[in-house]
Each structure stands twice: as C-alpha cells, then as structure tokens.
Amino acid sequence: MLVKASFEKREGEKLTFTPIFMEAVARALKQHPMMNISVDGDNVIVKKNINIGMAVALADGNLIVPVIKNADLLNLVGMTKVINDLANRSRNNALKPEEIQDGTYTVTNVGSFGSIMGTPIINQPQVGILALGAIRKVPAVIETPDGDYIGVRHKMFLSHSYDHRIVNGALGGAFVKTVADILENWDLNREI
C-alpha cells in the first residue's frame, strides 16, 4: 500500500497491477516476435511495433479494446498513465477511432470479475490473446535447501489462446512462460 500511495502522490495516477502485467507482456512480445504478428489471407505479417489491445469492461456489460501503442517503449509510469487514460476515456465513450485500431496482441483481465481463468477468443487478424485470472492466496509447495514446506502464496492463472495455423504449442507455451517468469521475478527493490 505504501508504494501505491507514494506513486499516486508523486505521479497523480493510481497504480494497479494492470501496467505491471502489460509491461510483462510487452517484454515477452519483444522476446517472441512471432507472437506479434497478424494473418492476411495466406500472408503472415510480422509487426515492428508492439501495440497491445487492452479489453475494458463498460457499464452496459460490453467490452471495448483500446490499444496501447508502442507499449515496449513505455516505462512503468508511462504505461500507468496511458492505461488509466485509455480506460477512463473508454468508460466515458471518449475514445478516438484510431485508439481502437492497429493492435498487434490483446490482453483481457477476467480476474477483475473474480474469475480465476477464462478462454479468450483471438481478436483476428492477431494471432494471440492472454487472459489474466484473479490473484488469489492459495497453498503452495515451497522448495528450500532444508526441504519442502507448504506456504500461502499469491497465484494467478494465465490463459493463452493462439492461432494454431501460425503459432505452434512450443511458441505459445514459451511466450506465456516468459510472461510468467517476468512477473514471478519482479524486482521488489525496483524504483517505481
């Protein structure tokens, strides 16, 4: 809570998990550029820019997917500001047409509704989408040099759907593992 309060005081923005997740996805897309592609008929188009679509729930129960353009170039402060702005303007019906175009990969947060996992549908012509489940405290086996024990840990399911015409299981699995590794190895001493 201390980090969130100091961040909001310093930046004038609320810090949530979403920018952290989006940063992880942007980094993973950079490491796995064949997830950052689209299909046009028989052509596969490798995208230079990493433009992440972010599903935003609207009051009427519908979704809209604004796009975080060049997400890989944003630091955490910049990512937070862009996400908060796009989410707020989505809910107020104030997006411009170009702000919902040119996504190269999409993320949806089913956890915001309490769901632990979901089966997201690919936003074609993109080839992948990641659903973030609810973060829950669960029992987990903790391995130590002195032996294993059971402890309480925060866990979240990542559900990854991808177009098997283009993306095989090795790439799809490696991508989502990279996202998980980035999140699990978050530097607690990182300057935010």
**For the stretch 57-80, what's the b/e string if a residue is b when 16 or more beta carbons lie within 10 angstroms of its beta carbon?**
beeeeeebbbbbbebbebebeebb
Please name each of the domains of the chain with its CATH number: 2-184 (3.30.559.10)
56-57 and 63-64 as β-strands: parallel, antiparallel, unpaired? antiparallel
Band (pLDDT 50/70/90 cuts) for residue 91 is: very high
Distance separating alpha carbons of residues 68 and 85, to the nearest angstrom = 10
| Residue 161 main-chain phi, psi, to 5 deg | -105, 140
Q: Bin 105: left if φ > 0, else alpha if -120 < ψ < 50, else beta.
A: beta
Query: What residue type is assigned to position 186 of the chain?
Result: W
Return d(Cα 34, Cα 15) in angstroms, integer: 30
Is the pLDDT confidence value at 87 over 70? yes
pTM: 0.93
In this prediction, residue 148 carries a pLDDT of 97
Catalytic site positions: 108, 164
